């Protein structure tokens, strides 16, 4: 069974944890001084989205608080979570790719999403392969995982469990934070049928064609003959038919921790001037980079 863990507004949630005064307030995280890259739940409810300018965001929410985005902290926190989730299984991977650009609301109208667009609500998402579970084991494990993620990140997660990554992801998007949903084996297609076809990991032009054909939901796509979809959309049509029917056999990769290299230098006397400190720091950076390259080569050459 595959588990999908989603952490909505993850960067903003980390900021609110570090700064309690931001809790229950509408705020955004910005790159530079103008572009919104992170949104709190309160700001999102006011209509603020990533990619907006701070001027647009303030027009929607007058009492909006603006803070600088700290991407390195968000990446580090998510990496720590992935590492911690190996407690459950070594098959843990983060989500990347086109599937990030759709949401899980049930609706008839399909949004036409260009491949270069990003999710309006940035969500940290990962998958775990939990192996074979008995029906009565899944709910208990799901509750345990939700508690574990909350302890690790101080943020409530959404959790979906199903036979494949795609139905598990849709299950995770369809529940509220702190909740889980288990899709029993054999019921994947029935569960997916009412959700928008916009959840399929395809480009906007393909979604436009699906809409013109009147195939608005995953159930509409699943009901089409596989051969017809393949003839019209090629290999992508076969993938769409398979996913819409809840058959996602893409495996979850094994977790690979990032290569980390550190350098330290013991100084005989205090450093009193910046030029000398800069020389020392540059030498330490060079040592760390050399070690990182060495570790990467060793890692790549390891037998699998």
Rounded CA-CA distance 200/206 in Å is: 10
And the tokens for 275?
């030029």
What average pLDDT does range 107-131 have in this prediction? Answer: 61
pLDDT given for residue 294 in this prediction: 64
pLDDT digits (tens, 9 = 90+) for 206-234: 888 998 999 989 999 999 999 999 999 99
pLDDT given for residue 259 in this prediction: 64
And the tokens for 194?
């009412």
In the block, residue with structure tokens 């209509």:
47
pLDDT given for residue 139 in this prediction: 95
β partners of residue 39:
28
pLDDT digits (tens, 9 = 90+) for 122-178: 688 999 999 998 888 999 999 999 999 999 999 999 999 999 999 999 999 889 999
pLDDT given for residue 304 in this prediction: 40
pLDDT band, very low/low/confident/very high, at 98 (cuts 50, 70, 90): very low
Nearest to 50 by CA among 116, 121, 109: 121
Weakest mean pLDDT among 255-259, 261-265, 300-304: 300-304
Rounded CA-CA distance 252/92 in Å is: 6
To the nearest 5 percent, what fractions of the chain are helix, strand and coil?
Answer: 45, 15, 40
Q: Which residues contact 43 (CB under 8 A, 6 or more apart)?
A: 12, 26, 27, 28, 57, 61, 64
Other beta carbons within 10 Å of 151: 9
Per-residue burial over 183-216, b = 16 or more CB atoms within 10 Å of its CB, e = otherwise: beeeebbebbbebbbbbbbbbbebbeebbeeebb
Rounded CA-CA distance 10/41 in Å is: 10
pLDDT given for residue 299 in this prediction: 47
pLDDT digits (tens, 9 = 90+) for 228-251: 999 999 998 999 999 999 999 999
- Is residue 11 within 8 Å of residue 37, measured between CB atoms? yes
pLDDT band, very low/low/confident/very high, at 295 (cuts 50, 70, 90): low
Question: Which phi and psi angles does 275 have, rounded to 5°?
Answer: -55, -40
pLDDT digits (tens, 9 = 90+) for 58-89: 999 999 999 999 888 888 999 999 999 999 99
pLDDT given for residue 122 in this prediction: 67
Average pLDDT along the chain? 84
Q: Is 40 helix (H, G, I), strand (E, B) or coil?
A: coil
Other beta carbons within 10 Å of 84: 15
């Amino acid at each position: 069974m595959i588990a999908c863990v989603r952490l909505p507004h993850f960067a903003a949630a980390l900021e609110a944890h570090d700064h309690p005064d931001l809790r229950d307030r509408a705020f955004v995280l910005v790159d530079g001084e103008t572009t919104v890259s992170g949104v709190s739940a309160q700001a999102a409810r006011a209509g603020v989205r990533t990619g907006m300018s701070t001027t647009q965001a303030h027009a929607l929410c007058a009492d909006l608080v603006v803070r600088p985005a700290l991407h390195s902290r968000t990446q580090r926190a998510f990496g720590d979570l992935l590492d911690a989730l190996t407690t459950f299984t070594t098959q843990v991977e983060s989500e990347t790719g086109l599937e990030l650009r759709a949401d899980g609301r049930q609706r008839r109208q399909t949004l036409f999403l260009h491949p270069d667009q990003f999710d309006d609500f940035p969500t940290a998402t990962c998958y775990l392969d939990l192996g074979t579970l008995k029906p009565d084991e899944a709910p208990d494990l799901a509750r345990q995982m939700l508690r574990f993620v909350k302890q690790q990140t101080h943020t409530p997660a959404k959790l979906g469990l199903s036979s494949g990554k795609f139905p598990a992801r849709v299950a995770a998007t369809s529940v509220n934070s702190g909740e889980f949903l288990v899709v029993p084996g054999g019921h994947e297609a029935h569960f997916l049928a009412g959700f928008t076809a916009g959840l399929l990991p395809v480009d906007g032009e393909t979604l436009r064609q699906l809409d013109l054909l009147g195939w608005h939901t995953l159930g509409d796509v699943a009901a089409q003959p596989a051969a017809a979809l393949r003839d019209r959309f090629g290999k992508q049509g076969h993938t769409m038919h398979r996913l819409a029917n809840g058959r996602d056999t893409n495996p979850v990769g094994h977790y690979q921790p990032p290569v980390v290299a550190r350098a330290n230098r013991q100084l005989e006397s205090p450093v009193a001037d910046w030029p000398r400190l800069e020389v020392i720091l540059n030498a330490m950076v060079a040592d760390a980079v050399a070690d990182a390259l060495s570790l990467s080569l060793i890692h790549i050459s390891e037998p699998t």
